[in-house]
Amino acid sequence: MSNAQLILLDKRNQPLKEYLVAVAASDGLNIKGVEVMASPAKGEKSLLNANIYIPPLEKFDYNPKKLAVESLTKLTIGEEIIAIEAFIERCSEDEAVRAALKKSLARFTKNLEKLIKTFCDSDVIPLIQESRNDALFKLKNHAKDLKGKNIVCIDIEATNISTDPEADIIQVSACDINGKELFNQLINPGYDIPENEKHNITTDMVQGEPSLTEAWDQIHDTLLNADIVLAYSTESDFMYLEKSAEKKLLRFELDYNTWLDAAELSKDLIGAMRWHSEKMYWFFKTPKLTHAYEVILEKPFPGDAHDALADARATVDLFNAMLEKGTQSKVEEKKPKKKQEQITNNPFAALAQLK
């Protein structure tokens, strides 16, 4: 007979912080210092330890039991991910020790559920749920309002980020709401393209391609004639076009009010919540296009994430999938609370209530 047992260790230097709850709500989280230890007997050296993984709370409906079951399939030893059954097998070749560890698993799981429950009971969880409901309601309305509209989805690759005044456009691509290509144009900036991890476009690739001035009319007018211009991060794409037009003295009649940002919608729908420690407020982190696509469509991102046409088509697929989620949701607009009527015999007070 063995006295071996599984013990939940919590060796954190400080209590659970709300920002950890928020991260786990969307991303899943390994917390340093929270481990499972296989102990051969009280006071004896551990047989084996593994780190505990807290799964994404939303994915498992904030249910501690479901989360604990998932957590036990993803223990980590160094870089290796291992399930609790394999962990027990690895602890010892002694069948009595293994049997004792298995016997203690139910109690260990209960303790793990209690730990996870502290995440699920956090005051921040209702904020997350409210944001998701608001996002679904917004998407539900978009699905109704955008029917029959001419929607053009655009993506731009450039030599640097949009806030850099020296950045130049080197690819502009657009497709319709069904992913049909409207244009896919490489742009020759007139100089050697510096290497940049944000795109894969080289100087050789743009040789013989038009300058932005030569390609401008098709790009500008396609966007101008759209009812809605869709993009993933509209602010940067609009800024590229506006600054380029100003720099090259090109006509510019685009209205940012007709642009719709798929990144903002995905942020509200699946973005991970973060705590801004300096400014002391919660915010949702905007997911990358590749991440949003894979989470919402539940399949790998197609093609090259640094090609403008591939990104535009992926944005359309993502947007249509989000609209579908909004349409299928049961969420309704929150009705404003009715003001409670106050009964009074004072005619002047009664008159004031009517104002």
**Cα–Cα dist 167/189, whole Å:** 10
Distances (CA, A) of 60 to 26, 47, 85, 91, 219: 11, 31, 21, 29, 44
pLDDT tops 50 at residue 104: yes
- Nearest partner of 290 among 328, 233, 219, judged by Cα: 233
Instruction: Give the tens place of pLDDT for each residue, 292-322.
Output: 999 999 999 987 667 899 999 999 999 999 9
How distant is the alpha carbon of residue 63 from its chain centre?
21
Tokens found for residue 28: 């899943």
- Nearest partner of 219 among 202, 237, 206, judged by Cα: 237
Q: Strand (E) positions, 121-253?
A: 151-158, 169-176, 181-186, 228-231
Tokens found for residue 339: 């003001």
* pTM for the structure as a whole: 0.81
pLDDT band at 333 (very low <50, low <70, confident <90, very high): low
**Coil, helix or strand for 255?**
coil
pLDDT of residue 355: 47
- Asked if residue 312 lies in contact with residue 174, where contact means CB atoms within 8 angstroms, the answer is yes
Computed over its alpha carbons, how large is the radius of gyration of the chain? 27
**Cα–Cα dist 162/95, whole Å:** 63
Structure letter (DSSP) for residue 152:
E
The continuous run of DSSP H or E covering 102 comes out as: helix 95-103
The continuous run of DSSP H or E covering 175 comes out as: strand 169-176
Cβ–Cβ contacts within 10 Å for residue 263, how many? 21
- List the single range of 33-37, 194-198, 215-219, 251-255 with lowest mean pLDDT: 194-198
